[in-house]
Structure 1
Amino acid sequence: MIPHLKKPVNDTFIFELIIPSLPGFGYSDGSNKPKCQTPHVAHILKNLMKRLGHEKFYVHGSDWGGIVANNMATLFPKNVLGFHSNFCISLRYISIVKLILGSLYPRIIVSYEFESKLYPLRSLLRFYFAESGYLHIQGTKPDTIGISLENSPEGLLAFMLEKLSVGTNKNNVHVDNAGLDKFDKTLLMDIIMFYYWFPKSATTSGRFYAENLNVDAFRYGLHK
């Protein structure tokens, strides 16, 4: 998205892009306080924008960034002019109930053109069960997996390529080379080396999962 946003629009204006890493990811230090959850990061990034001289701004996010951007739009509506995400998700209990009810009659939850993305529910759950092992270990034992990945380039490469493959297209589990032949290998190595290997961020980024995937976070409705 970055090259497109950098191009002038009708020669009248251009976006100024602020692209931070979340705490614990890339070269951003991990939090030195426990329970650093997405609403806290939303507050940090809002303060960052104010320090840079921006009282009002647009936000975009994906994955954890999508949840943080959602929190920013919810908590600071006077500052956020617009919110865009490719990671629209709700983990509230009522949302889960609605998802289950939709398995009886999908059209009450989703339009026909998107029905296959959610239903049949057994296929969706089977995929999540098979592909969410990383989520469980990072959400419960982040230091164990983090230290392992920070000390083994081969282990980090295997871990990241597997997630980049299935995370970009779930059908890659059925194709030769896991669909990795479609990627620019230099770009893949840049992502892995500069975002995880050089800064040694596997542990701190894993801890962010543990802080957010727990009973307290769901009890207080932090993921909406």
Structure 2
Amino acid sequence: MSRPTSDVHVFEAHASDADLDDLRARLAAARLPEAETVPRDATGSGRWEQGVPLADLVDVVTYWRTEYDWRSFEKQLNRIGQFRTTIDGLGIHFLHRRSPRADATPLLMTHGWPDSVVRFADVVEELADPADADAPAFHVVVPSLPGFGYSDRPSTSGWGTEKIAAAWVELMGRLGYDRFLAHGGDWGGNITTVLGGRFPAHVLGIHTTFADAPPGMTTDGLTAAERAWAEDTHDFWARRAAYAKQQAARPQTTGYALVDSPVGLLAWILDKFAEWSDTEDSPFETISLDRVLDDVTLYWLTRTGASAARIYYESHNSLDPDLRVDVPSAITAYPRDVEKCPRPWAQQRYRQIVRWSEPERGGHFPSLEVPDLFLKDLRDGLAALLAVTHGAR
């Protein structure tokens, strides 16, 4: 039974002028290293071989200091509707947009790292009140993960993906949503998998851009394309996942730089937007500079560089190998995502895949890179879940 409560309070974001002035002063006083030692004629991804190129970083820092407007994004969050509630002693922040449609279905959307509620800010309104009257509508809830954004920073260990998933069920119940759909990518995809596997009484179905197969899968019987996916994922974890291993092993050490230096925080996050997006060079080919800075500035103003990194310490490689998802599942594999799970592997965990999608474009942040394509694919996936759910009644 749904159980709306009064333990949910309206929240409005409003950074102090002093904090914004301090940010600009730190940017102006930043000490930068020399340029990277890649060939001068390097192009495309070759320019980023050693990380964020100095020239690119200087341009972004200059824009951040002299032109970027945090107040604009702050107003957008407040227009969507922001709230906080306390679950297991921890304050949880979330966006909540109720649909005006009587036929709307509750939808929980969970972000990952190094993003935030920024990942979904531009699609919430269209999901809740679609321009097309024939499109499905949703009551959209977008929580900030513990230690991220305006959620509290945990002071004790234990806030891993299993506990977060349980907290999300409690959150949805407080809003009156006893049964709901769930979507997520990155850590949000992991949490969405846990939701589907642990809480089938509450979860109607899941849509994820991050399918996670059980360990021990072999490449026997895979197609050439599926083998390539497996090889790319292996290469990613072997050669390009130092950030994850550092944050899993020593998040506190990394956190000092991320909380003290806005330029260090920017470089740490921008590197991932560049490497994980479906672009040939700069992430700004598909993601607006302002959106990336909205994300980085949210981390900066809330001092969450260290606390957000701890999700790796709490949950890295912790998904229960025996967890199975029996609720209807829709899975999307974007072509330039960093991890893509072959369908035969996914089927070993997700027992009822009702839709499998492989779009032609998009990377790890599809809602920011290809928002129109993302919206259509998400709607199609959620519609497939609802068709199964309604057919079972």
TM score, norm. by length of structure 2: 0.47
Q: 2:295 aligns with which of 161, 180, 191?
A: 191
Judge conservation of contact 2:269–2:296 (CA < 8 Å) in 1. yes
Instruction: Name the structure 2 match of 1:140.
Output: 249
CA contact (8 A) 1:39 1:222 kept: no
Counterpart selection for 2:238 from 129, 135, 159 = 129
Partners of 2:256 and 2:314 lie apart in 1 by: 17
1:212 equivalent among 300, 305, 315: 315
Q: Distance in 1 between matches of 2:320 and 2:200?
A: 23
Conserved 8 A contact 1:8-1:14: no
Superposed displacement of residue 125, structure 1:
3.0
In structure 2, relative to structure 1, the CA distance for the partners of 1:64 and 1:222 (3 Å cut) is farther
CA distance change for structure 1 residues 162 and 13 in 2, over 3 Å: closer, same or farther?
A: closer
CA drift of 1:76 comes to 1.1
1:163-209 residue CA offsets vs partner (Å, 9 max, x unmatched): 1111224xx6xx5xx42341311111111112x11111111111111
Match of 1:116 in 2: 228
Shift of 1:3: 4.4
Aligned length: 201
Structure 1 residue corresponding to 2:200, chosen from 71, 74, 77: 77
Counterpart of 1:17, as a letter, is: V
**Would you say the 8 A contact 2:277–2:283 is kept in 1?**
no
Please give the residue correspondences for 1:1-224 in structure 2 after superposition, counting only pairs within 5 Å.
Answer: 1-6=123-128, 7=130, 10=133, 14-90=137-213, 92=214, 95=215, 97-98=216-217, 101-102=218-219, 105=220, 108-109=221-222, 111-118=223-230, 121=231, 124-169=233-278, 175=280, 178-182=281-285, 183-194=287-298, 196-213=299-316, 217=318
Cα-to-partner distance string for 1:113-169 (whole Å, 9 max, x where unaligned): 544322xx3x54333323201101100100111121111111111111101111224
Structure ranking higher in strand proportion: 2
Report if aligned partners of 2:180, 2:203 keep a CA contact under 8 Å in 1: yes
Q: Unaligned 5+ residue runs, structure 2?
A: 1-122, 325-348, 350-393
Q: C-alpha distance in 2, partners of 1:83/1:205?
A: 24
CA distance in 1, matches of 2:150, 2:125: 22
Residues in 1 aligned to 2:156 and 2:193: alpha-carbon distance in whole angstroms: 22
Code of the residue aligned with 1:49 in structure 2: it is M
Cα deviation, residue 218, structure 1: 6.0
Q: 1:219 to 1:13 in 2, by over 3 A?
A: closer
Alpha-carbon separation, structure 2, partners of 1:33 and 1:145:
18
Q: Bigger relative contact order, structure 1 or 2, given CA contacts below 8 A and separation 6+?
A: 1
Higher alpha-carbon deviation: 26-35 or 71-80: 26-35
**Residue type of the alignment partner of 1:187:** R
Is the CA contact 1:138–1:210 (under 8 Å) kept in the aligned structure 2?
yes
- Point out the structure with the larger helix share: 1
Unpaired runs of 5+ in structure 1? none
Bigger Rg over Cα:
2
Identity percentage over the alignment?
A: 28
Distance 1:21 1:128, change over 3 A: same
Partner SS for 1:84: strand
Shift of the 12–158 alpha-carbon distance from structure 1 to 2, 3 Å rule, reads closer
